[in-house]
């Protein structure tokens, strides 16, 4: 950082000569609740969500800038915790909080913009997947969705059983696999994105942008035992969390079939010709009112 | 722009190897009202506010990214007008709308982040003013404040007299002197900022950051005739609008005394030793309950 907060604008190094930029707006009551997450966790999550978009291009995050809308009753301690969360999440990837703006608002509003540097790498977009590629995922799927389902089941935060704590923690504070983004770019990934709307929907974006069909292998998407147990307790379908949960900020990418993938990336499907309908689907399964069932033939 | 909207992040050229970045959050009811301004004007103003921060560093704006919070009742037409406003204001400086994010919200929230390129110039911060420098202003002062005062005088938008229309227009759509920022950097400005909190308060920031005293000459800050007439009608002090009104996004800068300033910059004061109290003041005047009066000695 060449010039930090306190002037009209911040100034950052952009050694690559290109700058990667992404922005998101988080609204209280829709993206977070102050009674379900601490200020610190909200700061961590808001930063993570945007830093993840930067690594999903294959870039290294350099900084975030933050626009905050704060109600009068938000305490200085809460604001400090929030900004500590921004700072600590940025520190995980060597980025800094370069600036911000605070306005009065009736509810908490957090606008985060993240910047990144490509370090000479070719950016990995959504449109480069080719028939014959493999589809791989880095990071967790369905954890945050499981945690949110538990918190939403009218039980609040007081009755989280021990075995389910990791899911609530995942909802409060995602752990994007930051290093895997630049790693994938270096490995020659043909397409990549941050899983923010759910694996199936986001791979649908890759399929549409690339003009291909993506077929996921459900056997490659195992449901962890604790997640299955929680789903049973909540009468929910755990595969729905895995396939449609977005807030873990996993990365999904396509790679040429001959690329030797490191253990951080696990193959979950294949890319084939669109055959007239570019989309992502799950092999042998369809979504029903009760979850993702085997086709009944 | 190397990669525009539609992916996880946008990618922009940063030929200077440094990138300038600034963010602001605008909240409905606090920064704008949908019954006082059109969607198009709100888009123009939100973009202008951030582009102005970029030129105030001496940089050329390259792009904005926008996070939008929108209520369900906001029409597609209103959203189109808003984004047209973003686009047209950016076009004034050769910048583009590189990306965005839309979330559901109970009120309209607009987070704008602007990026810029220094083109090899030394950035102009708030901290470089030196005793002996002159203080100069580019752009309008008090126009937007006068317009807001008229709209706020419980008359709504229906009874704006012809002579005051330029002030209401200035509130709705500021006209920052964009070209004057890079121009000032090229002329050797020692400090510069965007007047967003009012001339006196913002020059106070320069004084504090630079460790100097800034003295404004009230004779160099004439009140336009129409502004004086409106102030008389509203029983207001026009010099208060000029000295404390912020939304015109004028630029204020300090220059070495021997710099020959072009007509876009008008000298309004002097920089002197702080003498123990770094601040900005108006020569011979003090703020009273009724406005800015001559000292009574």
Q: What is the pLDDT of residues A216-274, one digit of tens each?
A: 999 999 899 999 999 999 999 999 999 999 899 999 999 999 999 999 999 999 999 99
Instruction: Kindly list the structural domains of chain A, giving each domain's residue range(s) and its CATH number in brackets, ordered by start.
Output: 20-117 (3.30.1330.10), 134-285 (3.90.650.10)
Q: Name the residue among A67, A98, A209 with its Cβ closest to that of B25.
A: A67
Measured between beta carbons, the chain A residues lying within 8 angstroms of B66 are 23
Amino acid B297: pLDDT: 44
Mean pLDDT of B202-231: 96
Binding residue positions of B for substrate: 31, 247, 292
Amino acid A290: pLDDT: 74
CB contact (8 A) between residue A25 and residue B57: no
| Residue the block writes with tokens 């984004």 | B83
Q: Name the residue among B2, B53, B106 with its Cβ closest to that of A9.
A: B53
CB contact (8 A) between residue B25 and residue A101: yes
CB contact (8 A) between residue B126 and residue A6: yes
B46 touches chain A (CB under 8 A): no
Indicate the range of A115-119, A205-209, A292-296 predicted with least confidence.
A292-296
Q: pLDDT band at residue B57, thresholds of 50, 70 and 90? A: very high
- The answer for B 69-108 residues in CB contact with A (under 8 A) is 69, 98-107
Indicate the range of A233-242, A288-297, B101-110 predicted with least confidence.
A288-297
Q: Name the residue among B8, B14, B23 with its Cβ closest to that of A66.
A: B23
CB contact (8 A) between residue A194 and residue B8: yes
Q: Name the residue among A13, A54, A126 with its Cβ closest to that of B18.
A: A13
Nearest chain A Cα distance for residue B49, angstroms: 11
Measured between beta carbons, the chain B residues lying within 8 angstroms of A11 are 18-21, 57, 118, 123
**Dihedral angle of Cα A11, A96, A179, A19, to the nearest 10 degrees:** -20
Residue of A nearest to B49 (CA): A8
Amino acid A246: pLDDT: 86
Task: For residue A198, say whether it is annotated as part of any ligand binding site.
Answer: no
Percentage, residues of chain B above pLDDT 90: 87
Amino acid A156: pLDDT: 57
Tens digits of residue pLDDT in B73-94? 999 999 999 999 999 999 999 9
Indicate the range of A147-156, A259-268, B258-267 predicted with least confidence.
A147-156
Residue of A nearest to B181 (CA): A8
Tens digits of residue pLDDT in A126-141? 999 999 999 999 999 9
Compute the mean pLDDT over every residue in chain B, rounded to the nearest whole number.
94
CB contact (8 A) between residue A113 and residue B23: yes
Amino acid B246: pLDDT: 86
Q: Name the residue among B8, B23, B31 with its Cβ closest to that of A111.
A: B23
On the question of pLDDT at A38 being above 50, the answer is: yes
Nearest chain A Cα distance for residue B201, angstroms: 14
Amino acid B231: pLDDT: 96
């Amino acid at each position: 950082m060449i010039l930090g907060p306190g002037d009209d604008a911040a100034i950052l190094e952009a050694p690559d000569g290109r700058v990667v930029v992404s922005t998101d707006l988080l609204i209280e009551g829709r993206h977070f609740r102050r009674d379900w997450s601490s200020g610190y966790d909200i700061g961590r999550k808001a930063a993570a969500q945007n830093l993840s978009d930067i690594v999903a291009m294959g870039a290294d995050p350099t900084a975030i800038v933050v626009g905050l809308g704060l109600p009068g009753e938000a305490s200085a301690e809460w604001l400090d915790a929030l900004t500590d969360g921004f700072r600590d999440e940025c520190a995980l990837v060597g980025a800094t909080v370069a600036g911000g703006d605070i306005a009065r608002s009736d509810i908490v509003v957090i606008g985060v913009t993240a910047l990144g540097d490509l370090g000479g790498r070719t950016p990995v977009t959504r449109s480069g997947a080719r028939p014959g590629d493999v589809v791989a995922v880095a990071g967790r799927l369905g954890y945050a969705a499981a945690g949110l389902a538990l918190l939403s089941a009218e039980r609040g935060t007081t009755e989280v059983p021990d075995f389910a704590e990791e899911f609530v923690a995942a909802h409060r504070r995602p752990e994007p696999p930051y290093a895997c983004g630049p790693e994938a770019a270096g490995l020659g990934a043909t397409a990549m994105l941050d899983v923010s709307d759910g694996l199936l929907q986001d791979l649908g974006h890759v399929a549409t942008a690339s003009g291909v069909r993506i077929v996921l292998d459900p056997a490659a998407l195992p449901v962890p035992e604790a997640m299955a147990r929680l789903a049973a307790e909540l009468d929910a379908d755990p595969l729905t969390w895995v396939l449609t949960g977005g807030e873990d900020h996993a990365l999904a990418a396509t790679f040429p079939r001959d690329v030797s993938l490191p253990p951080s990336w696990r193959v979950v499907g294949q890319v084939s010709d669109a055959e007239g309908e570019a989309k992502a689907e799950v092999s042998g399964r369809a979504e029903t009112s009760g979850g993702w069932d085997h086709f009944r033939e």
